[in-house]
Structure 1
């Protein structure tokens, strides 16, 4: 089980063609990449099927529209803690028995938690899909928790935090940057939670969260692989269909106040061997953006940080030779705020101050002269062409679709992605620069070595 990082370039691509079909006969729309089919059960469970017959396997996943940002104050880490506890048995299965069944059938599994969603998946031979559906539906409705299994698992989560955050300088800095970037919004709280609050989580809190959010009408079932959509519908109706819909509350998120001054965070540690810095700005997500804003920022991120030919890599790493790495990142798939970030790291024994000066000079030049039309045209072509490879990995379609649908995008939005990227103009990109990249709205993070003596 893992805590998802919210920067994934493939997810940021946001690919592509789906069909919306609620009830009635299955239909398929003209598709670009995945050619999926979607329908909704009577209890509100949305089902998306992506046929991929490259191998006789299937990827079965369930995504819940709830994550760490939906927790109550003082219960940080509860969404991730429940993710762990979902493997602890039901009325018909002993703790860990579902995992044993998956292994016995030659499959693999995992789960993940983000600020906006929680998901569970299995990859097995196509003829074992029914087994996965039976048991995943079982734990959607019939989870059994007792102190005997909850208390030891809480210590497992605390140890996970110690290994990934407390003993990892980059993880510590990441927490500090988010807590500085977001003063009021729950994105400031780590997905895994603060240790002193994890220590207080208990069986009652986990069951309350489960009963509040885990219901078919708050979930999306995604099946990708060597399957027939009609057969998937029959199985979904058999195993998920009888689960009653829940009374799901509205997602209540507070707004972030305006930022009126640049912020800085510095972490020094003897464990740091290679210094680095990042400069980040709040930016609109798909759900928050107006018009072409999110698509224009994706094009801009591709120009600035899209690989070895990007502006930042070319100028700081290749031309000036002062950086070991340099780039940018932007992912609009968030229920609320997104961020646009720049990053760079000096060559071994290099000067972090010189790298920072060069990076800030590039940002200043961007604001002064903007982006050229040739750069926009080339970036759009690369982004759309990248969608061709979306079928190479069976888990790609479920990741993109699940991430999009749990953060407020629709199937039509995903289908229209290539056209919207292609319609971005140089004016769209340059028109956003002054509003997004304002120094008083920046957060700079420094990861620096600390002498041991």
Structure 2
């Protein structure tokens, strides 16, 4: 009976109380260590996050952060080129890496008893990378081809690139992560090694280990393999140029014959999640769902896709995770026979109506339930949890911020959403783009 009562009490406990078991350390050389315990399966995710991404690149060397990500799979003092991935695969695991505006991360997912092997190899390439001119030429061609496939051969990607450049006039978020082609073509050994020597240092890194591990054992391994690497004494303060206040609406028309159907998109500068101040970001998460989430329940979907049949698609999006100011975006694809002018006017009317009318209480409660469920399901993904903490810590948040986020989401009110909507949805701080196959369709 006591066990039954205890179980009932646990199920009634506020949602925020059931956070992950997280233990943190800082090594003597400044490297942060985060251990997230999950003993349900004998698996571990080992990640190293660097507080350096494309927005930290020196002017004129766009794409070097992503370029270096590729180069880190080359040889070191003790490993052959490609050996790390081969060893991971031979041990039944998987590995990869990714670059964002604010970070670069490397990870392996393996059996828990292979953790020491992962640390030995990953710590080796943190400090002992050995590149050849052939490596530089080969990988430069690889990233150029990647740009060909993902951006240059994709009208939508090229349009987004131009829109983002128009949104950020001064901040490096206006430069594509993969880089501008003309600068990528000139990336060389010195560019790569300069970025590597400065930023790939333990005092600029976060080790995240999640899965079937004990914190003390992880710490001992981290001290053995990472703790012996000297810190970078000249690591610069993480300074970014600030975006000036936007006081005039910006518009552009992107014409590309590969566009299969004209559409319009608009983005607004919006606040990101800040440490100790995540309330506005949480309200923006609700705003994105209320305006352009499910077409069956969102303001844009109901008004444009069903009531007036002005659009065949409508949506809204907000990415709260940024070190600096982020964006809130809207997209509308007009129905056959509807011009972009008509579609934009209809979208503006929906926004005006949303700002003028109260938010339905049932809608808010439905979203609270949805967010609560998604947080619960997310706990079954060890890699996703490791990503959550790594991204947060490289973007200015703390462990406490991450664990407080679900409860902050639950506390958002309709008044909070209306307040942030009125603050963000201002035309003078927006960029509107029309993406069309020909100039004649830009009407």
TM-score, structure 1 length as denominator? 0.88
CA deviation after TM superposition for structure 1 residue 93, in Å: 0.9
Q: Could you say what the CA RMSD is over the residues aligned between the two structures, in angstroms?
A: 2.1
Pair 33,347 (structure 1): closer, same or farther in 2 beyond 3 Å: farther
Q: Does 1:426 align with 2:426?
A: no
CA deviation after TM superposition for structure 1 residue 291, in Å: 6.8
CA deviation after TM superposition for structure 1 residue 42, in Å: 1.9
- What are the residue-to-residue correspondences of 1:201-350 with 2, within 5 Å? 201-247=187-233, 248-287=235-274, 292-308=279-295, 309-347=297-335
- Which is higher, the Rg of structure 1 or of structure 2? 2
- What are the residue-to-residue correspondences of 1:360-439 with 2, within 5 Å? 360-369=348-357, 371-439=359-427
Task: Tell me what 1:168 maps to.
Answer: 154
Q: Which stretch has the larger CA shift, 344-353 or 191-200? A: 344-353
The superposition leaves residues 116-148 of structure 1 with CA deviations (integer Å, 9 ceiling, x where unpaired) of 000011112222221111100110111112212
Q: Does 1:449 align with 2:437?
A: yes
Q: Which stretch has the larger CA shift, 169-178 or 370-379? A: 370-379
Task: Tell me what 2:21 maps to.
Answer: 35
CA deviation after TM superposition for structure 1 residue 349, in Å: 6.8
2-side partners of 1:259 and 1:422: how far apart? 32
CA deviation after TM superposition for structure 1 residue 348, in Å: 6.1
CA deviation after TM superposition for structure 1 residue 354, in Å: 3.8
1-side partners of 2:202 and 2:274: how far apart? 23
SS of the equivalent of 1:221 reads strand
The superposition leaves residues 35-56 of structure 1 with CA deviations (integer Å, 9 ceiling, x where unpaired) of 3222222222212222233433
2-side partners of 1:110 and 1:319: how far apart? 45
CA deviation after TM superposition for structure 1 residue 385, in Å: 2.8
1-side partners of 2:42 and 2:313: how far apart? 40
Gaps of 5+ in 1: 1-29
Whether contact under 8 Å (1:65, 1:406) holds in the other structure is yes
1-side partners of 2:387 and 2:140: how far apart? 27
1-side partners of 2:299 and 2:39: how far apart? 39
Query: How many pairs were matched up?
Result: 423
Q: Does 1:120 align with 2:106?
A: yes
Whether contact under 8 Å (1:41, 1:237) holds in the other structure is yes
SS of the equivalent of 2:332 reads strand
CA deviation after TM superposition for structure 1 residue 201, in Å: 1.0
Whether contact under 8 Å (2:278, 2:408) holds in the other structure is no
SS of the equivalent of 2:359 reads coil
Q: Which stretch has the larger CA shift, 36-45 or 436-445? A: 36-45
CA deviation after TM superposition for structure 1 residue 347, in Å: 4.4
The superposition leaves residues 162-215 of structure 1 with CA deviations (integer Å, 9 ceiling, x where unpaired) of 111111101101110011001111111111111111111111111111111111
2-side partners of 1:77 and 1:219: how far apart? 20
